[in-house]
Amino acid sequence: MDVHIVNAEQGFPNSSGDHIRVLTVPDPKDSRKIITNVLCRYIVSGVEVSFMKNPHDADESFEDALNWAKSFARLHNIADVYAANLVGGD
């Protein structure tokens, strides 16, 4: 598994393989809050599994989400984790 810190303003790379994307952005409704999205895509027995972890959780930190993504990737043999934080210095 490889972790790639990306510049989300330039966009995530196209990936047809198994991957997880972590993106943290300011909440447009309240600048004191953040929104962290974790999107997972991988193949199991020839079938694509795709889901968003906690799609309505605006309080999960970038670090917590990235740690979850790395653990999940190791557990499910997911090749790549892409992560971008538009809030902090990561």
Total domain count, the chain:
1
d(C-alpha 59, C-alpha 37), whole Å: 10
The domain that contains 78 carries what CATH number? 3.30.160
Strands (E), the chain: 2-5, 19-27, 30-44, 47-53, 80-85
Looking at residue 78, its pLDDT comes to 94
Domain containing 78: what range?
Answer: 2-85
Q: How confident is the model over 14-69, as pLDDT tens digits?
A: 877 899 999 998 888 888 888 889 999 998 888 999 999 876 666 789 999 999 99
Is residue 90 domain-resident? no
Is 69 within the bounds of a domain?
Answer: yes
Best CA proximity match to 22, nearest among 71, 79, 63: 63
pTM above 0.75, yes or no: yes
Residue ranges in 1-90 assigned as alpha helix (H): 62-76
